[in-house]
Amino acid sequence: MTSRAFFRLLLLALLSIVSATGSASAQRPYAQEEYVIASGGPALRAWEEYRGPGDQHDRYWGNFIRAARIRIDQLRAQHGPALNLTWLVYRPSYESREREDLVKRPQYLCTLAEITTLAAERGVRLLWFNNTSFLISYLNNRSGRKLSGFEFYGHSNKYCFLFDYSNDILGVSSCYLHCADLHRLHRGLFTRDALVQSYGCHTGEYMSRIWKRHTGVSMIGALGKTDFSAIKDNVTLPSVNGRWSQ
């Protein structure tokens, strides 16, 4: 086979893959599905400054916002405007960080207005939440729609999502979704091919197991810590200092 013939076959194969992907997207029942992304909140600098430089969290307030925005852009590129996207954001931590930033005046200032604008520009339904019960209730009450995906961006440990870690209290979270709460999620919420992933630290070490037990759907989680430094390029999602597992 000549090199020209080989590259022609390769091109035809790539075109067929693209065509198949486009057809699959076109056939999805978007009106009957919803994709949910949840963002936890940042720590307060006032608390984190008690830690040593190598142990501080959230010098940049928007780790869990920028990472979610990158993922939203990816989903819009893949599925277009037909995908029903909902963005749940834990409001109290962003309110308190905004008040702090207005005094400390860091290079990047936290504002709720910026989050609202990011959602509006991307045609995303933005819902602020203040407690765990709201998040669970929202996931359970889909008005007949199934969840085709759920992703979490925030602090976590092996047992729970930490929505306000080191914001209300140093080194503590007073609002969280614990493994013990997962029985409150209804089975049958998700489509068969749903993607569920936590970008918090250590989720794959225990919580992923309990998630699947109660929902019937696997959750990809980190074995180790997650690293949000890659999001600085505005296109790369957080990585894991370890490996992903479900």
For residue 74, what are the contacts with CB-CB under 8 A and spacing of at least 6? 237
CA gap 48, 95 in Å, rounded? 17
Computed over every residue of the chain, the mean pLDDT equals 91
What's the whole-number mean pLDDT along residues 151-169?
97
CA gap 207, 55 in Å, rounded? 24
Asked whether residue 137 carries a pLDDT value surpassing 50, the answer given is yes
- Amino acid identity for residue 42 in this structure: P
Asked whether residue 14 carries a pLDDT value surpassing 80, the answer given is no
- Which helix (H) or strand (E) segment holds residue 245: the answer is strand 239-245
pLDDT digits (tens, 9 = 90+) for 216-238: 999 999 999 999 999 999 999 99
Comparing 112 with 20, the larger pLDDT belongs to 112
Quick check: 108 and 61 in contact, CB under 8 A?
A: yes
Instruction: Provide the pairing of β-strand 125-129 with 239-245.
Output: unpaired
- How would DSSP label each residue in 74-95? HHHHHHGGGS-EEEEEEHHHHH
Please state the three-class secondary structure of 196-231 as a single string: EEECCCCHHHCHHHHHHHHHCCCCEEEEEEEECHHH
pLDDT digits (tens, 9 = 90+) for 184-218: 999 999 999 999 999 999 999 999 999 999 999 99
Q: Which ranges in the chain belong to alpha helices (H)?
A: 3-27, 45-48, 63-79, 91-104, 112-121, 132-140, 207-215
Q: Helix (H, G, I), strand (E, B), or coil: what is residue 130?
A: coil
Looking at residue 25, its pLDDT comes to: 54
What is the reported pTM?
0.89
**Bridge partners, 149 (sequence order):** 35, 195
Residue 181's nearest CA partner among 220, 137, 143 is: 137
CA gap 101, 79 in Å, rounded? 36
CA gap 180, 161 in Å, rounded? 12
Q: Helix (H, G, I), strand (E, B), or coil: what is residue 125?
A: strand
